[in-house]
Structure 1
Amino acid sequence: MAEVLSFRRVAEALPDSRFWQFLDFHQSHVPWVGCSLHDLIQPSFTFLVGVALPFSIGSRLAKGAKFGPLLRHAIVRSLILILLGIFLRSLHSQQTNFTFEDTLTQIGLGYPFLFLLGFSSQRVQLGALALILVGYWAAFAFFPLPGAGFNYEAVGVAPDWEHNLRGFAAHWNMNTNFAWYFDRWFLNLFPRENPFTHNGGGYATLSFIPALGTMILGLFAGKALRATTAQKVKLKFFLITGISLLAAGVLLHVMGINPIVKRIWTPAWVLFSGGCCFLLLALFYWVIDVANYKKWSFPLMVIGMNSIAAYVIADGFGSFIASSLSIHLGQDYDQVFGLPYATLVKGSLVLLVEWYILYWMYKNKIYIKV
């Protein structure tokens, strides 16, 4: 939601300010390898789907729900998320933009499998996680590297791009990898304005498979959170698991086995970002549940209670709110503190309007669920 503040424009207007350069970096996705705070949004959202599942299943089973109806509901939920993601990606297109790398579509594609795993033993869940990580790594590792005459420009990548990986790690380069090859076939099965050749950011449909791994990690966290064990035991589990996953991801990257790349959700990214999610969960669990500091989190709770609505409002109505403010407040109202800070003024008002919509929904107990 806070993307509307556009720290990048402020940083560009104030190139000598390290403060704004720092904020710009952490409100942007890294070009390929590595991680910014912004890169942790999607895995956190995905992780929390897994965290919530044990609570959801437990609540429904306690009300007498049966497996069959629950499975049908999970499949319907999955389809709604996929279609909603496609709808949001098509807002500025001339026709339906069939693309499946959006956060909602990625969660929707993996959710039925997560649901089934929610009824499985922990051994089966661990086996599924291992199979996903090893299998997805192998699919990329054994996919042939582009030959000497490969046309990099045709797939939106310069041959000398500074972020291209060398050696074995080149199997995970942008738009020359296994997932890109799959999308060259799969996405062209749908009607398109132009034939699909590549995704400008390197994102891929098949990322939903390792993203399912992130959801499984969330499933482990949710089971621990729901357990009747002491708070200290839970906190210790979150911290140890988080540090271990983080270290494993970095080790795979440093050893050249697998790079940390969020855009194609590499296995190393699953482990690294999963570790970050566990540590963030440990932090908030300690502050809110253990130390009992809760009041400060109310603005976040208003958003979290309607997370799907918040996502749709920010993605689908942010520009409408911004243009409406310009109509009623004047075209230059956002320059009250000078041109460099214009996006902060406009963005803050848009963010405030979006939050008050969610607050109104919260006060009236309107919760959008799928």
Structure 2
Amino acid sequence: MSLDALRGFDMFFIMGLAGLVVAVTNLFPDSSTMIWLGKQMEHVEWNGLTHHDTIFPLFLFIAGISFPFSLDKQRSAGKSEKEIYFKIIKRGLMLVVLGFVYNGLFKLDFEHLRYASVLARIGLAWMFAALLFVKFNTKTNVIFAAVMLVGYWLILWLVPDSATPFSLENNLVGTIDRMLLPGQFAYGDFDPEGILSTLPAIAMALMGMFTGKLVQLPNEQVSQKKKMTYMIVAAIAFITIGLLWATVFPVNKKLWTSSFVCVVSGYSLLSFVLFYYVLDVKGYTKYSFLFRVVGLNSITIYLAQHIIDFDHISNFFLGGIISHSPENIGVVISKAGYFATCWLFLYFLYKKKIFIKV
């Protein structure tokens, strides 16, 4: 239950909560706290970290946590290793294709299509991590994850012939994408979901899988209290390592730097511990329904916002109120209406027991 709720909480910001928070903070232009909160709903331009930069990696981390449970279910159902591998690859590639769809595949303008995407990054990183998780034991995979993070740092640092290898203009990630990746990029000649930066994302997906494997252990073997203690200690360690690493390898989401992966892995662990404690340990599930409605159809709402005009639906009902309100209040009502419309759409699917999964 904690996984579905945390996934839903994460998606809240994607389906309009971030815009609503910004609209509310704009009501208090002289408040330093509100200005800071509003900035947290935006991505940093290059180096640095805001809350908005944690949304995507948290989703990938959650996908990693859920895999050990899915794997055990498949094995209990008698699935062969070959069948499991096929399902992993199929799911990964389906997410890549859905990324193409999200970016405008049906316009049939292949020359200007953006082939890299958030969904492709999740699909490929999760897929390669899952293949490693099935094939090798945890100790070996920990080594793989460490090698990927350290190796990524060394490659970006040592390979480019530049005094600024981690800059927007001179990084190796962009160079490789410009050589191998067709179509259009997100930022001119650079894409944050390109080829080489998938490597540290695989390591992050593996960290989620290690977490899932820990939680999966019987409580008789490792108590829930010990599990939470281990996760909190690991989270603090990840954040500390990430911040220390950032002195030579900046925290940067667009490059998915190793320091970024460590810091957001720590944040993701702490977020999961909180939801795990409240929902699964203490059983306080009354209000989790608000999140789970979204978490159970997360891919659906991500794609639906690109297909369905939720703004139009919201304005159909609230347009009159908005037009008769002061401008800044009207923006808040509009953003709240959009968010509510998205949630009610998912609630309708929930009531009809329609869950679209890859």
For this structure pair, what is the TM-score category when the shorter chain's length is used for normalisation? 0.7 to 0.9
Equivalent-residue separation in structure 2 for 1:98 and 1:206 (angstroms): 19
Distance 2:306 2:36 in 1: 24
Matches within 5 A, 1:176-191: 176-188=170-182, 190=183
| Higher alpha-carbon deviation: 85-94 or 71-80 | 85-94
Query: How is 1:264-279 mapped onto 2 (pairs within 5 angstroms)?
Result: 264-279=255-270
Supply the AA of the counterpart residue of 2:241. A
Residue 54 of structure 2 aligns with which residue?
Answer: 40
Please name the residue that 2:205 is paired with.
215
- Conserved 8 A contact 2:318-2:334: no
Q: How does 1:49-64 map to 2 (within 5 A)?
A: 49-64=63-78
Which segments of 5 or more consecutive residues in structure 1 lack a partner in the other structure?
A: 147-166
Equivalent position of 1:160 in the other structure: none
Q: Deviations over 1:301-350 (max 9, x none)?
A: 11111111122123443xx12124435654x6424441113332112112
Equivalent-residue separation in structure 1 for 2:262 and 2:250 (angstroms): 11
2: CA distance, partners of 1:25 / 1:8: 8
SS at 1:365 equivalent: coil
Q: Distance in 2 between matches of 1:92 and 1:69?
A: 31
- The aligned counterpart of 1:132 is 148
Contact 2:23 2:332 in 1 (8 A): no
Q: Which residue, 330, 346, 350 being the options, matches 2:334?
A: 346
Distance 1:88 1:291 in 2: 39
Q: 1:294 to 1:25 in 2, by over 3 A?
A: same
CA distance in 2 between partners of 1:110 and 1:57 (Å): 17
**1:261 aligned onto 2:276:** no
Instruction: State how 1:117-128 maps to structure 2 within 5 Å.
Output: 117-119=132-134, 120-128=136-144
Q: Residues 268-316 of structure 1, C-alpha deviation per residue, up to 9 Å, x if partnerless?
A: 1111110111111111111112222111211101111111112212344
Contact 1:50 1:219 in 2 (8 A): yes
Find the counterpart in structure 2 of residue 247 from structure 1: 240
Q: What do residues 151-173 of structure 1 show as CA deviations (whole Å, max 9, x unaligned)?
A: xxxxxxxxxxxxxxxx6xx3211
Query: Is 2:306 the partner of 1:312?
Result: no
Alpha-carbon distance between aligned partners in 1 of 2:16 and 2:318, rounded to the nearest angstrom: 21
Say if 2:189 is the partner of 1:198. yes
User: Closer, same or farther in 2 for the Cα pair 1:336/1:235, shift >3 Å?
Assistant: farther
Cα shift at 1:263: 1.3
Q: Unaligned regions of 5+ residues in structure 2, if any?
A: 1-14
Compute the TM-score of the two structures, normalised by the length of structure 1.
0.84
Which of 266, 286, 294 is residue 277 of structure 2 equivalent to? 286
Higher relative contact order (CA 8 A, sep 6+): 2
Deviation at 1:218, TM superposition (A): 0.1
Residue 18 to residue 342, structure 1, CA distance change in 2 (3 Å) = farther
Residues 323-362 of structure 1: pairs in structure 2 closer than 5 A = 323-327=312-316, 329-330=318-319, 333-362=321-350
In 2, the alpha carbon distance for the partners of 1:327 and 1:367 equals: 27
1: distance between equivalents of 2:198 and 2:181?
15
- Cα distance in 2 for partners of 1:92, 1:266 equals 33
Distance 2:245 2:157 in 1: 14
Does structure 2 conserve the Cα–Cα contact (< 8 Å) formed by 1:14 and 1:340? Answer: no
Letter in 2 for 1:243: I
Q: Is the 8 A contact 2:121 2:193 kept in 1?
A: no
How many angstroms apart in 1 are the aligned matches of 2:317 and 2:234? 51
Q: Distance in 2 between matches of 1:279 and 1:348?
A: 28
The change in CA–CA distance for 1:212 and 1:202 in structure 2 (over 3 A counts) is closer
Once the two structures are superposed, residues 228-282 of structure 1 have per-residue CA deviations (whole angstroms, 9 ceiling, x without a partner) of 121011101110100000000001113x2x1111111001111111011111111
The AA in structure 2 aligned to 1:180 is G
Q: CA deviation at 1:51?
A: 0.3
Percent of aligned pairs sharing the same letter? 28
Distance of 1:53 and 1:202 partners within structure 2? 25
